[in-house]
Structure 1
């Protein structure tokens, strides 16, 4: 089925390109070319809708068949020998929360790589990141362990604070254009040579997080990235004690996150999602909720 969908979509793209070429080369065939463009557009819409529903179905099936108990030691997933994760940082509180959740007491990250995605102009997040990595390096040095490796990618800010909604689509598009290389270009080290894509993508509420998840979804829709890679893990900000943030609502209603959890029971009950507790203060990763794929 996957192969037939790919062939169908490629044929539609070729037909669309041929129609556009025909219009530019022979205006007399405008009517026929217009019909071809319309038919190709409909075919692409059908393909996109079918593939989107297919991905949502796969995610829903995995959620229903895997409901581990975080309190059970038997349900906890062991860390893989090599891993590569991407963390979406947001300005101010979002970044601080994310770094607190990453601080789980573990300090041996040999063959682990962390990639941080930061919005342009967010110097506060860069400062927080620098302090965190320095602290981790010092801890690992004192215990004679490896802090692993990390890098950062700067992308166009999807939406500035108080930015008018009418201008957001343009900046969001620019942001997505920057996000694709951050997802697809592997680290220039041993981990990057073995793992081409991030195993998991973590976000906790900044607007850029939704567009990162959207970019991941598009890459999987077009079969560029396997479904087993780039698992989107969304943890609603601890500050959201009664309602979801706009980013949370968008991810919930589109269904493009592989794991969606909140940190307050009231929010979880209101929207019918899983409550993971106050992860910010528990300082533990979601290894007991979503295991890393074998290899990406």
Structure 2
């Protein structure tokens, strides 16, 4: 209503159209939910995808066959131009999407990209399109670390990704990375619907999970009293005796023992979370 008492029919029409659209959306998504339940989908992700795609309609015959395909009279003459067009399109995509990676031992640099993925969708795209080998995927997980992975997947770990993470970590985890791997596993265990993701692991992925925790436990046993690998304990003893007194050494060993106990407790908790038998 305006001050003069006139009715704003345009505003009323907009409100009516918005209400109609909202009601149609509700009915459409509600029907999609019942359809998904009737189909007995295997996971929440499939259920969600069916609901989100409820507004899509199948193509009709006229949509696929409406235009006639024009045949080229001289295909050889156009091959060079087609190749140039494809190269130009690929160059444009590369400028927008980080498709080229440079890998080092502890760092992955993405050409054409200033940062790391901020969302689970970005991560999924990089993981599928750009990282082809297990070593590349392991380096990518290692660079992100447990904190960033927990932030990216705070809502949910995409269907199938948890199993792939476990396979990659089991194949490439080493003693130097033990603490970082534990942090990654701990962060993933705190994501939503983690129990469902564990229940949906395949037998191969469950075996990799069991192998991973076995490897982590062996790494912990193969460390000396101060938390260093056995080969470095004797080499560092002389230096410690020269630089530190007995009280300082005892404090150091006591702290290392406490850290080892904390790691052992963490592994036991993670074994329960990941249902490792």
Which bin holds the TM-score, normalised by the shorter protein? under 0.3
TM-score by length of 1: 0.23
- Could you say which structure has the higher strand fraction? 1
For CA contacts below 8 A with separation 6 or more, give which structure has more relative contact order. 1
TM-score by length of 2: 0.24
